[in-house]
Amino acid sequence: MNADDFPTPDVDVESVDPESLKDRIDAGEDVTLLDARMQSDYEEWRIDGENVTSINVPYFEFLEDDIDEDVLDQIPDDREVTVLCAKGGASEYVAGTLAERGYDVDHLEDGMNGWASIYEAVEVERYDGAGTLLQYQRPSSGCLGYLLYDDGEAAIIDPLRAFTDRYLEDAAELGVDLTYALDTHVHADHISGVRDLDAEGVEGVIPEAAVDRGVTYADELTTAADGDTFDVGDAAIEAVSTPGHTTGMTSYLVDDSLLATGDGLFVESVARPDLEEGDDGAPDAARMLYESLQERVLTLPDDTLVGGAHFSDAAEPAADGTYTAPIGELVEEMDALTMDEDAFVDLILSDMPPRPANYEDIIATNLGQNAVDDEEAFTLELGPNNCAASQDSLAGD
């Protein structure tokens, strides 16, 4: 039986929407999840948290009338259990099967696809430039974006194609015109929304240094060179060349207050250097990254906030709930930022995580070399981003 083609259970099973589940987790409530996906999918990507108990029992274990007692013994019968799967069909069936046996269960509406649809906007309270700065957060993959608005205008940095309508709706609700959509680089973990926003009348901006990678639509968009500025009301966004993660990696200094570093520097780690040129080119890219960090990022004032394009499970949010931190604080906490070049290169090459799922197809799509519809684009980017070097080896004691 296909995991997406299950009959409706004979008993009524309540569903929980993804936002409500996240609210419970964020509130510190103890949550028990039964993940009915295949083990390989579970090991690659799942819902975690300090207060989350996660159990993996694939859906096919529940297809027989006489379910093995060893399977049932894995499932707590003294608390509520939320069952989840990829899209919601298998989990509803499994939850119904368990409910018939007296378990206290519900199931996650739309499964992990629903979880991937959560997108929250949190204000960066320590931002002290003109206007207001929001950080968009996608907890399923750790993707981050930034919306700056001031005096009737707005700009979005690192937009996701899946949320194109959301940006336009948020801008309308705020009473501002979305003027710019800027990418920091050719992303390897999600499909960029810059071209879709440009088609809606927003000025799309990509780094000039990224064009040589084979961007097919560069003539249709604005290109940003090092030092170029984009005015948003009384605020200014300045392009800062920071190659390393990719040759075209460009950070954006938002009104001298926050540096949107893309995949160059995160609050818990630095970039991995192997996604553009592979293992052979990674050492040279790592040296390029070291130079960018030392000469273009760490030379900024210590109180300049850093906001990357991602966060991982190792990241701790700031008091305002955003994944941002002052440069001075990162220098104190991250050993990699105070090493000499050779030690830095050796360290980040020593322990890199698996590459992002479908990264080659995602890069080809973001270059314009591969066309996918919205559903395929959404599916391609499901899973962890894995754009950082290993956090375990980079953080201080």
Active site residues: 85
- Please tell me the distance from the alpha carbon of residue 288 to that of residue 328, in angstroms, as a whole number: 21
Nearest CA to 239 out of 229, 248, 94 is that of 229
- Please tell me the distance from the alpha carbon of residue 287 to that of residue 284, in angstroms, as a whole number: 5
SS (HEC) of 38-82: CHHHHHHCCCCCCCEEEEECCHHHHCCCCCCHHHHCCCCCCCCEE
Q: Three-state SS for 33? A: strand
Task: Report CA torsion sign: 43, 45, 49, 51.
Answer: negative
Rama region for 262: left / alpha / beta (φ>0; ψ in -120 to 50; rest): left
| C-alpha to C-alpha distances, 44 to 111, 119, 305, nearest whole angstrom | 16, 21, 31
- Please tell me the distance from the alpha carbon of residue 195 to that of residue 182, in angstroms, as a whole number: 10
- Residue 83 structure tokens: 């069952």
Cβ neighbours of residue 338 under 8 Å, at least 6 residues apart?
Answer: 331
| C-alpha to C-alpha distances, 323 to 73, 136, 390, nearest whole angstrom | 39, 10, 18
